Amino acid sequence: MTLKNAGIEIVEMRIPEKSPIVGKMLRDINLPRSSNLALIIRDKQFISPTAETQINAHDDVFALVNREGEDELSKVFGTLD
C-alpha cells in the first residue's frame, strides 16, 4: 500500500520565528492526532523527534499527515497565512 492510497502524505514545514511553539518541547504541544512528526532538520542535523525535543525557529519539520491533518498542523505550528 502506498502512502497516497492510504490517504497519507509527507509534508515539510519550516517553523517561523513567531510560531507559538518555538521553545516548547513536543510533549507540551497539542499536536493533531492526524499527524505524526517523523524528522526535524536543524542546522543540517537530523533529529528523530521525541517528547523531549524542543522546537526552534527555522526548524524544518517533516510529518506524516492525512488530508485534514496538514491544515491542523499548520495552525499549531503557526505556518498558515
pTM, two decimals, is: 0.87
According to CATH, the superfamily of the domain at 8-77 is Regulator of K+ conductance, C-terminal domain (3.30.70.1450)
pLDDT band at 81 (very low <50, low <70, confident <90, very high): low
Q: Which helix (H) or strand (E) holds 42?
A: strand 35-42
What is the per-residue pLDDT across 54-77, written as a single tens digit (0 to 9) for each? 999 999 999 999 877 888 899 999
All three cell numbers of 25, joined, read 518541547
Q: Is 80's pLDDT higher than 90?
A: no
Question: 27 near 21, Cβ under 8 Å?
Answer: no
What is the per-residue pLDDT across 35-59, written as a single tens digit (0 to 9) for each? 999 999 999 999 999 999 999 999 9
Domain parsing of the chain, residue ranges: 8-77
Distance (Å, whole) CA 56 – CA 51: 14
pLDDT of residue 20: 94
